[in-house]
Chain A
């Protein structure tokens, strides 16, 4: 595992929906300490790209490499280092926040020093830990999913619209967390219709359907 291949590498990736090409020949490398903001209109393929990067969908052409190996050959290593949060919150409404996190923890593992209660405290759900998620507000449900970010050891975060239904304070909290993650040598791929202001790392922007990366900072 040399530094030359560290990180996530997309090699001439193409994707279609129906008969429409979303993007073709997308080629870039995401290295530790870098941020990639994926932008574009609705339906331009942001979510498709993120799902391809996470290994949930297959690209029409091209391949995704993690540390120089195809992700499907490095699944266990890649998935240990990946945290993907999609449109859907991936929480069970019948379970309480703490039970939801407990499940996530046993599926992906977590930092030992961070307890589940602490993660919930961080996202401002202290006092709500035993209430079924069905009774929480949309923003609070989202916070339950985002509490995973405080637990994970994953190096590569792929977040699809993480700011949806969050209030200003929560957005600020997330940005602080992202900055810290990047400073620790993490990678972040994010889509958002809201402006993302991060003070860390090397930031790139990809505006679909263009496939040229723009460097921001």
Chain B
């Protein structure tokens, strides 16, 4: 018995190789990844054209516009999270692994964040400049995105896992997930506003960090349970 349990690779090993596999898959599907990012960039760049190129106006709108675009882009990208695994049966096999499903789900969410969240964070300063955000504002924007985008991936994973078995789950997904995204949006956009006004942003960042810790702890468990139901 001890002999057989020793040969099973560690959960950490499975976690890392699942992340590696997902990153490799994303790399071979580069085009799919580009869509949400293009959406993010296009939405933000259209605002000056559509509203007004006035500096003051754009500056006031910038935190909200960039965050709303990031949030919608994150939601668009959720589709790739479990769908292909569900369709080709690898998700089923994942559920039958002796490792904790929550850990494997966390691996999938992590790699999803690496390929969707991180590019959004990296693109944000460029778009911030576009919208005349001052230096302080850009730094805060990146900080809030750094804390916020993982929450979007984690919470989105629960919604995606719940709607996986449904044919047209897209609408339901937004209904489920958007209300949970709203606190992130409010605190993040508010933090960027406050930093531009020279006010303290500690409170908002603490709140976002708390939300992040909460969702890292609970979301993988919830998503793993939801996946079990969806696979059935």
Binding site for B on A (CB under 8 A): 51, 54-58, 75-77, 79-80, 82, 84, 86-95, 99, 102-112, 132, 153
Contact = CB atoms under 8 A, between A and B. Distances in A.
A80 B21 contact: no
Interface stretch (B1-9, B34-42, B158-166): B1-9
Interface stretch (B93-101, B128-136, B209-217): B93-101
A76 B98 contact: yes
Given A76-B98, A106-B14, A90 B7 contact: no
B45 interface: no
Nearest to B231: A56
A78 to B, nearest CB: 8
Contacts of A103: 17-18, 21
B9 A109 contact: yes
A107 B91 CA distance: 12
B90 interface: yes
A93 B89 CA distance: 12
Nearest to B101: A75
A91 B97 contact: no
Task: Name the prevailing secondary structure of the A interface residues.
Answer: loop
Interface of B: 4-5, 7-9, 13-14, 17-18, 21, 24-25, 28-29, 84, 87-90, 92-99, 104, 231-232
Q: Nearest 6 A-B pairs (CB), nearest first?
A: A88-B89, A109-B8, A90-B89, A106-B17, A79-B98, A107-B97
Contacts of B93: 84, 90, 104, 107
Contact of A95 (B13, B21, B89, B231): B21
A82 B84 CA distance: 24
Nearest to A75: B98
A56 B86 CA distance: 13
B4 A80 contact: yes
Contact of A94 (B17, B29, B231): B29
A89 B88 contact: yes
Contacts of B232: 51, 56-58
Contacts of B87: 88
Contact of A88 (B18, B88, B94, B96): B88
A53 to B, nearest CB: 11
Given A82-B96, A89-B89, A95-B21, A107 B4 contact: no
Contact of B96 (A79, A89, A93, A153): A79
B96 A84 contact: yes
A61 to B, nearest CB: 16
Contacts of A153: 4, 7
Given A55-B96, A90-B89, A109-B9, A95 B25 contact: yes
Given A79-B97, A80-B5, A93 B29 contact: no
